[in-house]
Chains A and B, each alone.
Chain A
Amino acid sequence: MASIEETIEKFEHDLLSVDRLAARATLAELSKHLELTEISDKIITPALEKIGEKWNAGDAALSQVYMSGIICEELLDTLLPKKKSSQSNSSSIAIVTFEDYHILGKRIVLSVMRASGFEVSDYGSGVQTDDLVEMVKNGGIKILLISTLMFPSALHIRNFREKLESLGLNIKIIVGGAPFRFDETLWKKVGADAMGRTAADAVKLTRKMLKLET
C-alpha cells in the first residue's frame, strides 16, 4: 500500500486533472484499509488544502479548485454515503454570498467544508444586510462565513456587524473573496474576526474558532 503522502499526492493529481474515475478509484482502494472518517480527514481534506495553497500561490487555477471540491462532494455523497459529520458543533455554521449573485466562492468553500466533515447551512446568495441579520437571529449560528466579490459589498459587512452588535448577537464572522485578497487589511476594517484566502483557510479557521468555543 502506498504511503499517506503518496496517496494524497495521487488524489490531488486526480482532482487537478478533473478525473472523476481516477479519484473514485483512489478512494475505493483506500476504503479497503481505512475508516471512512479517516479517508476524509487524512486524504481528502489535505489534498483540498494543498490545491487551495497552490491556487493561492498561482500554481493552480480556480476552475480546478472548484471542480476538485465538486468531485469530493460527489464522492462523499455516493462512494461514502453513510459518512457522518466528523466535526462537533458543526451545525452552528452558515455561509452566504453577501449582496450579489457571484456564488463560485461560496460553492468552493461549501464543498471543501462538507468534504472536511462540517455541516454548514447555506444562506444563499444576493442576501442583503437586514435579511442576513434575521437569518442569523433565527438560525442560532455561532460562525458565519461571508463570501463577497464586489468591493462595496465587502465594505457593507461593517454595517451588518454593527446591526448584529446592536441586537446583542455576538457571532464570529469569517470573510473571503476578491476584495479581501487584494487588500489584506480590509477584513479588520469591516469588523470581521478573520479572513480566509482559500477554502482550506475557512476549514482551519472554523476548527480553531469551534475549539475556542468549547
Chain B
Amino acid sequence: MKKTSMTSLERVLTTLGHKEPDRVPLFLLPTMHGAKELGLSIKSYFSKAEYVAEGQIRLMKKYRNDCASGFFYGPLETEAWGAEVIYSDDGPPNSGEPFIRNVQTIKNLEIPSIRETSCLLKVLKAIEMLREKIQDGAPIIGVAISPFSLPVMQMGFDKYIELMYEQPEVFGHLMRINEEFCVQWANAQLEAGATAICYFDPVSSATISPREMYLKTGFEIAKRTIARIKGPTATHMASGRCLPIADDIAKTGTAAIGISCLEDIAELKSVCKGKISILGNLNGIEMARWTPEHAEKIVKESIAKAAGGGGYILSDNHGEIPFQVPDDILFAISEAVHQWGHYPLNWTENYEK
C-alpha cells in the first residue's frame, strides 16, 4: 500500500528507484536567493557557511523544497586552486582569468589540500550545519565539477578544446590530476553530510562534445570517477543537450541526469525510463519573465510528460536559478508541483497543454 505522506528523502529515493512516490519531488535551486532572505549582498552571503546554511533552510521552508544544496558558486573549485573569483551584485560569482596559461603549468599542477583550503572548508561546514538541522528529512546535495569539465575554468574553454584535440598526453595528465581532486572533494562533502553528489559535467553534453569524443573522454572519466565517489551521484549537463548520449550516461553508474530545456522531456523520459532518472528541465533564463500562470502551465506540462512511473524530479535545467527570478514565480512553481504532482497522476492521461 502506497504511503500517503513521505519525507522529502523517502520521496526522492522512491522516484530514483523508478517507482511513484506520494508526489513529484521538487528540487528548486535558487542558489543566490538566500542572500535576499538574509538581507545580504551576494558576496557577503557566500562569505560564511552560517549564512548559506541559514539561507538554504529558509528557502527550503519557504518553497516547500525537497532538498537543500551545499552548492555555493561555480568557480569555487578553481578558487581552491588559486584562481580569481569575481563577485557581482546581481549574479553568481564568476571565474576570472584562467590560471593555467601553458602546458608547463599543467605538468607542475598539484591538487589543493581540501583540509587546508578555506573556501572548500566553508562549504563542508555549511553541509555539516545543514545535516544537523535537517537530519534525515531531506537530501542534501553536494556538487563536484567533473574532471572533464573543470578545465573550462582552469584554462579557458578555447585552450581546453585545443588541448583535447591536439595534445592527448597533456590532456590525460590533467584528467588524472582533476580526477583525484574530484574524488577527494566529492567524498569530503559526503563525509560532511551530503546525501548525494551532483556531478556537474556540461563538457560531456552533446552541445559541447560530439558523441565519439565523449565516449573516448568524458564517458571513461565519469565511469572511473563515479566508481570512486562513495555515495550516489546525479550527472548534470547544465543546460547542455544529452539525448544522443543518454544511454551512455546511464552506463557511467550515475543515478540521474540533469537535462536541458532545449530537448523534449517526453522523448528523454522514454529513452531513460527504468534506467536512469531525469531532473529538469525548466528554463531558468526565461523564468525571469514568466507569469505565475505560465509557471503553472510549464510545471503541469513537465509533470504530464515525464513524471509517470517515477524516475523524475522537477527542477530547472541549469542547476542554478538566476537571481532575477522573482519570488512569486518560485512560489508558483512550488505551488504547481504541490497541486498537480500528487500520484497517481490521474489528470495527465487526457492532458492537453
Contacts and interface: CB of A to CB of B under 8 A. Distances in A.
* Interface of A (DSSP majority class): helix
B88 A152 contact: yes
* Interface of B (DSSP majority class): loop
Interface in B212-262: 213, 239, 241, 243-244, 261-262
Among B98, B213, B285, max chain A CB count under 10 A is at B285
A151 B161 contact: no
A103 B158 contact: yes
A55 B31 CA distance: 30
B207 A150 contact: no
A98 B193 CA distance: 39
Contacts of B92: 150
B158 A107 contact: yes
Contacts of A62: 207-208
Nearest to B211: A61
B29 to A, nearest CB: 15
A155 B323 CA distance: 12
Interface stretch (A36-44, A64-72, A83-91, A132-140): A64-72
A151 B322 contact: yes
A150 B91 contact: yes
Contacts of A18: 165
A101 B158 contact: no
Contacts of A60: 210
Contact of B323 (A16, A101, A152, A178): A152
Interface size class of chain B, counting residues whose CB lies under 8 Å from the partner chain: 35 or more
Contacts of A126: 96-97
A207 interface: no
A58 B241 contact: yes
Interface string B94-109: 1111100000000000
B91 A63 contact: no
A152 B91 contact: yes
A127 interface: no
Interface string A93-112: 00000001111100100000
A9 B95 CA distance: 39
A151 B286 CA distance: 10
B206 A61 contact: yes
Contacts of A176: none
B285 A183 contact: yes
